[in-house]
A and B are shown apart, each in its own frame.
Chain A
Amino acid sequence: MANSSSRLAHQFDDLLQQQEASNLGMWAFLATEVLFFGGMFAAYAVYRSLYYEAFVAGSQHMDVLLGAVNTAVLLLSSLTVALGVHAVQRGDNATLTRYLLMTIALGSVFLVIKGFEYSHKYAEGLIPGIRFTLEGPNHVELYFILYFVMTGFHALHMMVGIGIMTAMIIMTRRGRFSPEYYNPIEVSGLYWHFVDIVWIFLYPFFYLIRVHP
């Protein structure tokens, strides 16, 4: 590719070293993200163990099916991102664009479903600080605070991810990527997968506490 050498920033010896550096940079950022969500995971673990019955009572108001659909949607979106990386490695930018569009579509489906869930919670009066009318065990409100803070921050990350993937489509259409240079695709993919991993934990945390009869 004629333009791939122009993609090499002057501080790097070669494109491989440059890719290694950008991947490491992303992993350093993701390490901070792990600890960002980790703090909330710790809060969840402490309060769940202290007020287990309240958490069970709160989780009875979750829609297990909608949560399941969303989990499947996100897992599929990670697969489309991975296949997108595979496409750009072969220089197939049309397929890359298709997979990025599918990723954005799946991410949007997730957010729309999340929006429906949030609006149901509002209708049922389950949003702490805004409209909370549930008469339950002590501390049941704490379950919903953690639910909205953790899924809210996750949804925010999804929105950022959709923005990033949109930028990737524009860059792809401008012919920025080739099998020799696709760092932004790779790095955006790492971010998307991380957000997927967060949801892999949030789903059992909030939806599957006690669903058995």
Chain B
Amino acid sequence: MSGHHVSRKVYVAVGLALLALFVLTVGIAYIDLGPFNIVVAMTIATLKALLVVLYFMHVRYSSRVTWVFVSASFFWLVILLVLTLSDYFTRGV
């Protein structure tokens, strides 16, 4: 009934990709990259979240208005984080 059905193969491939990224994030955590450990960890986490949203949650195949809702939730999260952190990180204490 919905416009597009994701195939079983795609779901399994995305599941395997998620597990691979998870193994990668644990492995990299054991290497000392200094301040870049958190950068790498957050990049991988964001990639995983993106895979889940686009494929498991079908946003890639969803209508424009769904895209607007999803982007809006992300946009407001960015406002919350950027405004809060730009305050705390510029207090110079």
Contact surface of A with B, Cβ cutoff 8 Å: 15-16, 19-20, 23-24, 27-28, 30-31, 34-35, 38-39, 41-42, 45-46, 49-50, 64, 68, 71-72, 75-76, 78-79, 81-83, 86, 89, 179-181, 186, 189-190, 193-194, 196-197, 200-201, 203-204, 208-213
Query: Measured between C-beta atoms, what is the minimum distance from A129 to chain B in Å?
Result: 25
* Chain B interface (Cβ < 8 Å from any Cβ of A): 1-3, 5-8, 11-12, 14-15, 18-19, 22, 25-26, 29-32, 37-38, 41-42, 44-45, 48-49, 52-53, 55-58, 62-63, 65-66, 69-70, 72-74, 76-77, 80-81, 84-85, 88-89
Question: Interface majority SS on A: helix, strand, loop or mixed?
Answer: helix
CA distance A200 to B5 in the complex (A): 25
Q: Is the CB of B80 within 8 A of A42?
A: yes
Q: Is the interface of B mostly helix, strand, loop or mixed?
A: helix
The residues of B that contact A76 with a CB separation of less than 8 Å are 15, 19
Contact A34–B73 (Cβ < 8 Å) = yes
| Total inter-chain residue pairs, C-beta < 8 Å | 141
Query: B30 to nearest A CB, angstroms?
Result: 5
In angstroms, Cα B3 to Cα A208, docked, is: 40
> Which residues of chain A have C-beta atoms less than 8 A from B56's C-beta?
78-79, 81-82, 189, 193
20 extra interchain contacts, Cβ-Cβ under 8 A, other than A45-B85, A75-B15, A179-B1?
A30-B73, A34-B73, A35-B76, A38-B77, A42-B80, A42-B84, A45-B81, A79-B11, A79-B12, A82-B55, A82-B56, A86-B7, A196-B52, A200-B49, A204-B25, A204-B41, A204-B44, A208-B26, A212-B30, A212-B37
